[in-house]
Amino acid sequence: MKLLKLIVFFLLLFLSFEKVSGEQIVYINMEKILIESVAGKKIIDKISKSNEININKFKKIEEDLKKQEKDLISKKNVISENEFKSKLENLKKQISEYRNKRQSIIQESTKKRIQASAEFSNKIKPILGDYAAKNNISIIVQKKNIIMGKKELDITLDILKIVDEKISQIKFD
């Protein structure tokens, strides 16, 4: 109940601020801009290709490890117990190394995705600042933080056009 009162208070505060100052509060869908802009599509494509290559690499290693496991199981009764244990330990070590390598590659991929999103966000901030100054906008809020708002206050498509004109590529590794 307190949260509802707080939300209503801030909404009334923002609405009264808009009427008094003549400035606007608008919202933007940043996810849509990332997904639909030329630079955003390139980022997503590059990350997707990298992930696909890694997945194929992981599948190949997994198949190889499973094959080694089946071979070892089939030879269990043929080879000595010490040799079996030695090969089993070696296989366990390979599996452990594979899991560690896979985890580190997943973490690196996540890090690159976050870095690319941050770089994209940094490139868009000056565009938003210029747009706000030219259009007498005092606050730009992300759409995901809006419960309800007029469609006329959504500037996503306007910003998307500007982003496509000004940003063609985001550099990240």
Contact 27, 142 (CB under 8 A): yes
**pLDDT of residue 3 exceeding 70:** no
d(CA 3, CA 53): 47
d(CA 6, CA 139): 19
Q: How many Cβ atoms are within 10 Å of 96's Cβ, its own excluded? A: 10
Instruction: Tell me the pLDDT tens digit for each residue of 35-90.
Output: 999 999 998 999 999 999 999 999 999 999 999 999 888 888 888 888 888 988 99
Across the range 141-165, mean pLDDT stands at: 90
> Residues 43, 46, 48, CA angle at the centre, nearest 5°?
105
Strand partners, 25: 139
Report field, pTM of the whole predicted structure over 0.75: no
Instruction: Tell me the pLDDT tens digit for each residue of 85-113.
Output: 898 899 999 999 999 999 999 999 999 88
What pLDDT sits at residue 12?
Answer: 57
**What confidence category does residue 20 fall into, taking pLDDT thresholds of 50, 70 and 90?**
very low
**pLDDT of residue 19 exceeding 50:** no
Mean pLDDT of the chain: 85
d(CA 148, CA 165): 30
Q: What share of the chain is helix, strand, coil (3-state, %, to 5)?
A: 80, 5, 15
d(CA 57, CA 66): 14
Read off the tokens for 45: 């494509």
What pLDDT sits at residue 55?
Answer: 93
Contact 68, 94 (CB under 8 A): yes
**What confidence category does residue 4 fall into, taking pLDDT thresholds of 50, 70 and 90?**
low
d(CA 61, CA 95): 9
